[in-house]
Amino acid sequence: MRKIVLATMLLASAIGGASAADGKLVLYTSQPNTDAQQTVDAFMAKNPGIKVEWVRDGTPKILAKLRAEIEAGQPQADVLLIADVVTMEGLKKEGRLLSFPEADVSGIDAALYDKDKTYFSTKLITTGIVYNTKAPFVPSSWEDLTKPEAKGLIAMPSPLTSGAAMIHTVTLTGNLPEGWDYYNALAKNGAQASGGNGDVLKAVSGGDKLFGMIVDYMPIREKAKGAPVEFVFPKEGVSAVTEPVAILSTAKDTEAAKAFVDFLLSKDGQEVAAKMGYIPARADVALPAGYPDRSSIKVLAYDAAAALANDAANKEKFGAVMSQ
217 marked among binding-site residues:
yes
Report which of 210, 187, 238, 223 is spatially closest to residue 138, judged by C-alpha positions: 210
What length does the chain have? 324
Report which of 305, 253, 317 is spatially closest to residue 50, judged by C-alpha positions: 253
CA distance 209 to 303: 32
Backbone angles phi, psi at 303, to 5 degrees: -105, 100
CA distance 152 to 148: 9
Q: Which residues, other chains included, contact 309 with Cβ-Cβ below 8 Å and sequence gap of 6+? A: none
Q: Are 261 and 103 in contact (CB under 8 A)?
A: yes
Backbone angles phi, psi at 321, to 5 degrees: -65, -45
Q: Which amino acid is at 244?
A: P
Q: Which residues, other chains included, contact 108 with Cβ-Cβ below 8 Å and sequence gap of 6+? A: 120, 121, 265, 281, 282, 283
Binding residues for Fe cation, by number, are 217
Binding residues, by number, are 217
